[in-house]
């Protein structure tokens, strides 16, 4: 009997459990496959740490956030190498892997595939910045969660006649800021793709204030204010040695209040955007990606990843997902800017 191993790796994302459920149910029902799940991503592969995933283990999990398998940032190539992965799969009689993760995971999967290991990728990130797929699951949930939080900031802002700043995630791209900002009617949206001067932000804030509105600014964690040379990152480095972002809103709070004289408050939404139940859209997309990953394995399309193009799920090479990010185009930003000021 064919046995597939599933793993979730990198930062978690609403919809991971729906992928797992979709893969297991379609694999069991359509192909008679057997499944195991590796605990905590590649770490579980290297340590042979598995849990059986019979059909009943995935019952009802699509509606839950997080991942039942756990996740980690372990990179199999630096932590043991392809031979250690191959040996572990052989010992556990696993014929192929479905690796669900972001850029780092997909880069590792690509390297393993080049060395003859059977692996199919499923792209994941709340940031929606992977070029190979039109939308990543988790993004819709993150935008919904951010929008609900910003709506709440607006009512308290209005009561106190304050300017409210909401800081959202997005390490390299401003998609969450753009969508949550448009949905909540922000008077300024600040994204990493576009440097803006403090004076311009202040002008948008003052314009809203002069019309009796409580100004609302939505800023992406990676936004770079004119005059700064990189994203504001007072929180040290993450496990990849990248700067941990978060805090630009606090910097803006002080500077905007000083410049405009309008009382200002900043809120960093942070990991709230990654937690909790996925939206229906994300559950459906993630489930379809799970189905497609197992179909890919069944048809020998190893060394590829599944991706959404329009309304269809297709297979693309790992190359398409790596190296090039999908950032917010200028015209999408200008469209949102119709609402500013």
Task: Enumerate the known binding-site residues for ATP.
Answer: 11, 73-74, 102-105
User: Which of 134, 238 has the CB closer to ligand F6P?
Assistant: 238
| Residue 28 burial (CB count, 10 A) | 17
In whole angstroms, give the CA distance from residue 329 to residue 82: 38
Query: Which of 171, 179, 209, 283 forms a contact with ligand F6P (CB under 6 A)?
Result: 171
In whole angstroms, give the CA distance from residue 118 to residue 97: 6
Angle at 10 between CA 4 and CA 12, to 5 degrees: 90
- As given in the structure block, the two tokens for residue 81 are 């190498």
User: Which of 157, 170 has the CB closer to ligand F6P?
Assistant: 170
**# residues near ligand F6P by CB under 6 A:** 12
Smallest CA-to-CA distance from 336 within 203, 180, 152, 202 is with: 180
11 binds ligand F6P (CB under 6 A): yes
CB 307 within 8 A of CB 133: yes
Q: At its nearest, how many Å lie between ligand F6P and the CB of residue 13?
A: 7
- Per-residue DSSP letter, 196: B
173 binds ligand F6P (CB under 6 A): no
238 binds ligand F6P (CB under 6 A): yes
Cα separation of the two ends of the chain: 62
Q: At its nearest, how many Å lie between ligand F6P and the CB of residue 266?
A: 17
| Binding residues for ligand F6P restricted to 263-322, rule: CB under 6 A | 274
328 binds ligand F6P (CB under 6 A): no
- Residue 108 Cα distances to 187, 244, 318, 326, angstroms: 41, 22, 10, 20
Name the 3-class secondary structure at 100. strand
For the annotated binding site for Mg(2+), the residues are 103
User: Which of 118, 273 has the CB closer to ligand F6P?
Assistant: 273
Cα atoms in the Cβ-side hemisphere of radius 13 Å centred on 222: 20
Query: Which of 245, 252, 286, 336 forms a contact with ligand F6P (CB under 6 A)?
Result: 245
Q: Return the residue nearest ligand F6P (CB atom).
A: 169
For the annotated binding site for substrate, the residues are 125-127, 162, 169-171, 221, 265, 271-274
Name the 3-class secondary structure at 309. strand
Q: Does an H or E element contain 294, and which? A: helix 280-298
Single out the segment in contact with ligand F6P by CB under 6 A; choices: 57-65, 74-82, 110-118, 169-177. 169-177
Q: At its nearest, how many Å lie between ligand F6P and the CB of residue 181?
A: 16
Angle at 62 between CA 59 and CA 68, to 5 degrees: 75
Smallest CA-to-CA distance from 110 within 119, 98, 101 is with: 119
- As given in the structure block, the two tokens for residue 289 are 């990606």
Q: At its nearest, how many Å lie between ligand F6P and the CB of residue 176?
A: 7
Catalytic one among 127, 129, 282, 295? Answer: 127
User: Which of 214, 266 has the CB closer to ligand F6P?
Assistant: 266
x-marked contacts with ligand F6P along 108-147 as a string, rule CB under 6 A: -----------------xxx--------------------
127 included as an active-site residue: yes
User: Which of 244, 265 has the CB closer to ligand F6P?
Assistant: 244
Query: Which of 170, 192, 215, 278 forms a contact with ligand F6P (CB under 6 A)?
Result: 170
User: Which of 220, 307 has the CB closer to ligand F6P?
Assistant: 220
Smallest CA-to-CA distance from 207 within 219, 218, 215, 199 is with: 215
Q: Which residues bind ligand F6P (CB under 6 A)?
A: 11, 125-127, 169-171, 221, 238, 244-245, 274
Catalytic residue list: 127
């Amino acid at each position: 009997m064919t046995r597939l191993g599933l793993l979730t790796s990198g930062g978690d994302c609403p919809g991971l459990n729906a992928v797992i459920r979709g893969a297991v149910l379609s694999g069991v029902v359509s192909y008679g496959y057997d499944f195991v799940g590796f605990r905590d991503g590649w770490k579980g592969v290297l340590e042979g740490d598995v849990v059986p995933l019979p059909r009943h283990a995935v019952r009802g999990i699509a509606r839950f956030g997080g991942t039942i398998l756990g996740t980690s940032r372990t990179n199999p190539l630096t932590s043991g190498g392809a031979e250690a992965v191959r040996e572990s799969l052989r010992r556990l009689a696993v014929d192929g892997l479905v690796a669900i993760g972001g850029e780092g995971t997909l880069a590792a999967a690509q390297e393993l595939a080049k060395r003859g290991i059977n692996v199919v990728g499923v792209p994941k990130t709340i940031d929606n910045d992977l070029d190979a797929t039109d939308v990543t699951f988790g993004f819709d949930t993150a935008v919904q969660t951010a929008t609900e939080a910003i709506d709440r900031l607006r009512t308290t802002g209005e009561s106190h006649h304050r300017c409210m700043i909401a800081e959202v995630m997005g390490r390299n791209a401003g998609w969450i800021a753009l969508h949550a900002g448009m949905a909540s009617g922000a008077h300024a949206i600040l994204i990493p793709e576009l440097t803006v001067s403090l004076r311009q932000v202040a002008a948008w804030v003052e314009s809203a204030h002069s019309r009796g509105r409580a100004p609302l600014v939505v800023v992406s964690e990676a936004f770079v204010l004119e005059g700064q040379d990189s994203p504001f990152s007072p929180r040290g480095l993450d496990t990849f040695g990248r700067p941990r972002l978060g805090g630009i809103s606090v910097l803006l709070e002080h500077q905007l209040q000083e410049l405009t004289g309008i009382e200002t408050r900043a809120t960093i939404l942070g990991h709230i955007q990654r937690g909790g139940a996925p939206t229906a859209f994300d559950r459906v997309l993630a489930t379809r990606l799970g189905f497609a990953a197992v179909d890919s394995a069944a048809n020998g399309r190893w060394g590829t990843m599944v991706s959404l193009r329009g309304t269809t799920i297709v297979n693309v090479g790992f190359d398409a997902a790596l190296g090039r990010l999908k950032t917010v185009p200028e015209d999408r930003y200008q469209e949102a800017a119709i609402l500013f000021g």
